[in-house]
Chain A
């Protein structure tokens, strides 16, 4: 069933504006998505009516804020199909989720001589925390390479996995290439050697249904702001037994049960990992985004985005001098490319003057750029509110850019 794009667009106030005298065409959704009215309203409503600290107050506002905050946790549990809300830890975003796992789980389960395996298409957020861990404990970081189309070289996976492999970190949907990785297969093969698996779902959750139990992943992280929610909030899913055995990531208020100067007894899950006053408003906005996404139907939105990506890919093939970076058979939302004779940054500036927002750069995935031998790419990325006409506007602007540089 197709979606009514105009009706969806009407729910996003930011889209109703002109940039440099042109209707805004927002194609930088892999960086962050825009927010629907429902999310903006939820944030405002919270601050106007319910603002209070959570978990401690006995007054009405604190009880309302606590109920809303814990309700948000329940929404995320349902969205990801986790077994329990005890497995849902609020963090600042996917980056903090990975750092939490690398620091807490990694610090106690990865030692000298062990290995962490990541892939050649990871975002810096799924590279650097592991590098830091490996350096600290004397472990080795291994990398599963990618091929010329931007797909993982799965045939090399088994050779890289061994009983030394403690953790495998894989991006679900690549922000630089759009590749959807066969994570179930990777999880199965990693588990066969006893490794745990962390899936970086920062890009994925807005574009495909996620079932952490079906995937059987050990850790899954994502950020609200890439799925129509606010910035500064994200979630770490982890299997309860793993969280139970992990030491706290940060110390402070809320993560304790009892404190004396001699010792501290930690709070139960998931609070053990949520030190300090959390991003209450963010969690409430996150829940509103989840509700919005679920009401639309992730699969319906994804089907619409896939049509846009297919159409854009078709237009790209017919565009003289354009080279797509990332042509794996399973892709979503991202069209990454370079244009002969026009550097991506110049392209970004030129398109901006046409009212079109794209991303130009290394997309926090410098090793991907090195693999393809380009300093940067231009990236258009689609969301539920984008239209076929906007794809046309993109390609009209690309033609203009080439003419300007001819």
Chain B
């Protein structure tokens, strides 16, 4: 039987309570809004990409459930210092992880600590909570003017 603790791992509970990189960056050159109309989660991602295409800094603001808060917090930690190209690869790997078959193993090499969110694939109605921040990050990097919606 699936244990709720598999979804709400201590790392997730901790990142929800104490989100990292929360708030507006003092210097940023990209930003985007994300909104999940189903549950009302709102996110704003700030991104500072340097001349070499590296994510010099990234932060987020917003409110939402533990899955969306923790996912955004973990994402900012994981993406700081990575190139935009790498970010796109991790984005794809993350999408795969949360929508894969239940017995598929996540791409640990690419995802690292982000694999704590693999449990959401057990909860179809919650996958969007985990992916909202990633879509918003990608929209920020692409300078998409429209609000990212998960619906």
**Which of A343, A353, A361 has the most chain B CB atoms inside 10 A of its CB?**
A343
A297 adjacent to chain B (CB < 8 Å)? no
Would you give 12 A-B contacts (Cβ < 8 Å), ordered by A? A343-B64, A346-B67, A349-B126, A361-B39, A362-B40, A375-B39, A375-B41, A375-B64, A376-B40, A404-B13, A405-B8, A405-B13
Query: Roughly how many angstroms separate A256 CA and B123 CA in the complex, as a whole number?
Result: 50
Q: Residues of B contacting A404 with CB < 8 Å?
A: 4-5, 8, 13
Question: How far, in Å, is B66 (CB) from chain A's closest CB?
Answer: 5
> Secondary structure at chain A's binding surface: helix, strand, loop or mixed?
mixed
Query: Roughly how many angstroms separate A353 CA and B119 CA in the complex, as a whole number?
Result: 14
Known: A404-B8, A404-B13. A349 touches B38 (CB 8 A): no
A146 adjacent to chain B (CB < 8 Å)? no
User: In the complex, are the beta carbons of B4 and A345 less than 8 A apart?
Assistant: no
User: In the complex, are the beta carbons of A345 and B13 less than 8 A apart?
Assistant: no
Known: A361-B40, A369-B40, A376-B39. A345 touches B65 (CB 8 A): yes
Q: Would you list which residues of chain B between 3 and 19 have a CB under 8 Å from chain A?
A: 4-5, 7-8, 13, 16-17
User: In the complex, are the beta carbons of A345 and B2 less than 8 A apart?
Assistant: no
B39 contacts which of A21, A342, A353, A360 (Cβ < 8 Å)? A360
Question: How far, in Å, is B50 (CB) from chain A's closest CB?
Answer: 34
A350 adjacent to chain B (CB < 8 Å)? yes
B129 adjacent to chain A (CB < 8 Å)? yes
A341 adjacent to chain B (CB < 8 Å)? yes
- Kindly state the interface size class of chain A when it binds its partner: 20 to 34
Nearest neighbor of A369 in chain B, beta-carbon distance: B40
B63 adjacent to chain A (CB < 8 Å)? yes
B1 adjacent to chain A (CB < 8 Å)? yes
A349 contacts which of B42, B63, B123 (Cβ < 8 Å)? B123
The 0/1 profile, CB within 8 Å of B marked 1, for residues 360-381 of chain A is 1110001001000001100000
The 0/1 profile, CB within 8 Å of A marked 1, for residues 109-135 of chain B is 000000000000001011001000000
The number of A-B residue pairs with CB atoms under 8 Å apart is 52
**Which of B5, B16, B39, B123 has the most chain A CB atoms inside 10 A of its CB?**
B39
Q: Residues of B contacting A20 with CB < 8 Å?
A: 1-2
Question: How far, in Å, is A18 (CB) from chain B's closest CB?
Answer: 12
The 0/1 profile, CB within 8 Å of B marked 1, for residues 366-406 of chain A is 10010000011000000000000000000000000000110
Question: How far, in Å, is A194 (CB) from chain B's closest CB?
Answer: 39
Q: Residues of B contacting A342 with CB < 8 Å?
A: 66
Query: Roughly how many angstroms separate A344 CA and B39 CA in the complex, as a whole number?
Result: 9
Q: Residues of B contacting A350 with CB < 8 Å?
A: 4, 8
Nearest neighbor of A343 in chain B, beta-carbon distance: B65
Query: Roughly how many angstroms separate A141 CA and B39 CA in the complex, as a whole number?
Result: 26
Q: Residues of A contacting B16 with CB < 8 Å?
A: 405
Closest CB pairs A-B (n = 4):
A343-B65, A345-B65, A375-B40, A346-B66
**Which of A20, A353, A362 has the most chain B CB atoms inside 10 A of its CB?**
A353
Query: Roughly how many angstroms separate A350 CA and B39 CA in the complex, as a whole number?
Result: 16
Q: Residues of A contacting B66 with CB < 8 Å?
A: 342-343, 346, 405
Question: How far, in Å, is A406 (CB) from chain B's closest CB?
Answer: 8
B126 contacts which of A345, A361, A369, A376 (Cβ < 8 Å)? A345
Question: How far, in Å, is B140 (CB) from chain A's closest CB?
Answer: 22
Query: Roughly how many angstroms separate A341 CA and B17 CA in the complex, as a whole number?
Result: 8
The 0/1 profile, CB within 8 Å of A marked 1, for residues 40-64 of chain B is 1110000000000000000000011
Question: How far, in Å, is A31 (CB) from chain B's closest CB?
Answer: 14
**Besides the known contacts A345-B64, A346-B8, 10 further A-B residue pairs in the complex with CB atoms under 8 A apart:** A343-B64, A343-B65, A344-B65, A345-B65, A350-B4, A366-B40, A375-B39, A404-B4, A405-B8, A405-B13
Q: Residues of A contacting B64 with CB < 8 Å?
A: 343, 345, 375
Q: Would you list which residues of chain B between 22 and 48 have a CB under 8 Å from chain A?
A: 38-42
Nearest neighbor of A406 in chain B, beta-carbon distance: B13
